[in-house]
Amino acid sequence: MDEKGRSFKNNNMEDEMDLKRGPWTAEEDFKLTNYIATHGEGRWNSLSRCAGLQRTGKSCRLRWLNYLRPDVRRGNITLEEQLLILELHSRWGNRWSKIAQYLPGRTDNEIKNYWRTRVQKHAKQLKCDVNSQQFKDTMKYMWMPRLVERIQSAAASLTSTTGSATTSSCITTSNNEFMTYDYNNNNFIGERLGVMNNNDYITPENSSVAVSPVSDLTDYYNAPKPNPDQNLVGPQMLPDNYFDYSGLLDEDLTATHEQSNLDWFENIDEVVSSSSESLWNIGESDEDFWFCQQQQQFNNNNDF
C-alpha cells in the first residue's frame, strides 16, 4: 500500500492536506537535489520530510528519476534511439523500464511518451491499431529500414564532408568494454559487444536496405506483391528490402546485459547530430508519413 492507500489516510489526514502537487518549483528542485547529493537516494517518504519538501515520496522519486538525476539525457530522441526503441518494443511490448535500460540517460517515462505521442499517432493516422500485425509490419519492413538507411547516410555524408576525420565512434558498456563502430565499414571493431557483433549488425553485405542507393518509394513499389493469403506478414513481403532486425540485438541480450547500461552509440549522436534533426523522425516528417500512407494504400489495394 502506498501513500495514497487507506493506511496513509488513516495515519494523518492533515499531512495529506499539506502535500503539494503539480509542477515543481526551482526551490523544490534545489532542495531535493541538495539533499540527495548529501544523503543519497532511497527511503523516499522520509527523504521528502527530511529535505523539507511538502511532497509525497513518490513524487520526489519521480522528479529525481525523470528530471533531476544528473545522468538524465534531455533533448530529441535520436535516430539510433528511435531504431532501438522500435526494435525493443517489438520484442518486449510496453515494458518501458526494461526498454529504458538500453537507452542510457533516457527514462521510461520519456520513452513511453515518445511512443504514445509519435508512434501511436502514426498508427492512428494510418488507421490501424498500434498493436496490430499490420502496423508492426509497417514498422519492421518500412520504418526501421528507413531509419537504418538514414543513420548510415547521415554518417556517410558527414564522412564525405569531413574526409576521413571521423570514421568511427566509441561505445562503452556497463562492463567497461570498449568498442568502436566503424562507419566506413558499418561494423564494430573489437572483441565483443554483447548485444551485437559484426555478423549481426547491418553491413553492406548483409543488408540491401541499409545501403540501398535507390529511392525507397521505388524499391517498395517494385517489390513483389505480398501473398494475399498471408496478410502482410513475413519477409516474403519485401524480399529485396528485408532486413532481419532480430539480429540487431542478440537473443541473449537480457541474460548477458541484464543491468546493462550500454552506451548505445554513445558518440554517434555527435557524429550525426548536425544533420539528424532534419532527417527522418517518426512523427516529424511529412514526406515519410506520406510515403507510409502511400505504401499502406498500395498494400490494401493489392491485398484485397
Which is closer to DNA, CB of 153 or CB of 276? 276
Q: Least distance (Å) from DNA to the CB of residue 116?
A: 6
- Are 171 and 265 in contact by the 8 Å Cβ rule? The answer is yes
In the bound state with DNA, the residue whose beta carbon lies nearer, of 116 and 225, is 116
| Structure-derived torsion over alpha carbons of residues 118, 124, 125, 130, reported in degrees to the nearest 10 | 70
Burial tier of 175 (Cβ tally within 10 Å: 0-12, 13-18, 19+): middle
Taking the complex as a whole, how short is the minimal distance between the CB of residue 56 and DNA, in angstroms?
7
- Whose cell is 548483409? That residue is 206
CB 8 → DNA: shortest distance, Å? 7
Question: Largest Cα–Cα distance in the chain?
Answer: 69
Strand-strand pairing, 187-189 and 168-172: unpaired
Can you tell me which of 44, 141, 265, 280 binds DNA, judged by CB under 7 A? 44
* In the complex, minimum distance from the CB of residue 55 to DNA, in angstroms, rounded to a whole number: 7
**Total residues in contact with DNA, by rule CB under 7 A:** 46
CA–CA dist 268, 183 (Å, integer) = 10
Smallest separation (angstroms) from DNA to the CB of 199: 30
Q: How far is the CB of 169 from DNA (least distance, A)?
A: 24
Q: Which of residues 116-145 bind DNA (CB under 7 A)?
A: 116-118, 121
Separation CA 216–CA 294 (nearest Å):
12
Please say which residue, 57 or 226, places its beta carbon nearer to DNA: 57
Distance separating alpha carbons of residues 82 and 92, to the nearest angstrom: 15
Place of cell 542478440: 250
The number of CA neighbours under 13 Å toward the Cβ of 140 is: 27
- Which residues between 66 and 125 bind DNA (CB under 7 A)? 66-67, 74, 76, 94-98, 108-110, 112-114, 116-118, 121
In angstroms, what is the minimal distance from the CB of 283 to DNA? 5
Residue 54 in the binding site for DNA (CB under 7 A): no
**43: contact with DNA by CB under 7 A:** yes
Nearer to DNA, 238 or 257 (CB): 257
Residue 228 in the binding site for DNA (CB under 7 A):
no
> Following CA atoms 198, 85, 184, 165 in sequence, which dihedral angle do they give, to the nearest 10 degrees?
-130
Asked if residue 140 lies in contact with residue 134, where contact means CB atoms within 8 angstroms, the answer is no
Q: Which of 129, 150, 143, 127 is nearest to 87 (CA)?
A: 143
- The single residue listed with the C-alpha cell 547516410 is 153
Which listed range, 51-59, 165-173, 177-185, 244-252, lies at the site for DNA (CB under 7 A)? Answer: 51-59
**Which positions from 273 to 302 touch DNA by CB under 7 A, shown as an x/- string?**
----------xx------------------
What one-character DSSP code corresponds to residue 69? S
Interface with DNA (CB under 7 A) = 1-5, 7-8, 11, 20-24, 42-46, 55, 57-59, 61-63, 66-67, 74, 76, 94-98, 108-110, 112-114, 116-118, 121, 283-284
